[in-house]
Amino acid sequence: MASKTIKIAYLYEDLMNTYGDSGDVKIIRFLLKKQGYSTQIDNISLGDKFDAFDYDFVFFGGGQDFEQTVIAKDLPRHKETLTKYINNGKPMLGVCGGYQLVGTYYKTNSGVTIKGLDILPFHTVFKADKRMIGDTRYMSEWGEVRAFENHSGQTYFDDPDKLHPLGTMIEGYGNNPQDHVEGLRYRNFIGTYSHGPILKNLNVANAIVKMILEWHDERMKKAATDKTV
């Protein structure tokens, strides 16, 4: 039954999958299966057409500088649909590079500024002399999260009144060495530097599954209504 199939868009799966971030999608699939749902996972890669509202969940993993440079040229095609999707409170998880590219820009180690999607007001600056690596712990709205971080990018909010951190640091660096916070929560968009994968923390995973199922029910009802019109 279509109504029992959850559709997941994995943005640039073939290019953005460092530190086992694909494990986040596997965990979501496992938890959904326990609730009686099947999953359809589509890799949205270079040149592919994409409408975020066709999906119940969008995932955007991390990648190296070179891969991020490549997809940054392709990504603007999806700005309109992702902007509407995020601002309408639909569930999306961006990890590391997939988090950074939703912001205004990131500046590479060589000083080159690469434009992000400019959906949310934050930016990232790479500082090669300050690599933030190791185990990380922080307190989120769903409780404590344990993960692993490995990044030179330091992320800063340009509008702290609009954006809220995912968590407050207990151990590790998080977004940057100064602010003592990790990640970002804007409506149902979650950005994070947490690898491991982050969704091995079932408190976070179950919260995202709840978001997915709520949006799935809404999407199915809308589809049924459209058929009768």
Catalytically active residues are: 96, 195
DSSP tag of 134: E
Residue 39 contacts residue 5 (beta carbons within 8 Å): yes
10: how many CB neighbours lie within 10 A of its CB? 23
Q: Is the dihedral of CA 71, 147, 207, 25 positive or negative?
A: positive
**Residue 26 region by backbone torsions, left for phi larger than 0, else alpha for psi between -120 and 50, else beta:** alpha
Q: Is the dihedral of CA 80, 85, 87, 93 positive or negative?
A: negative
Terminal-residue alpha carbon distance, the chain? 22
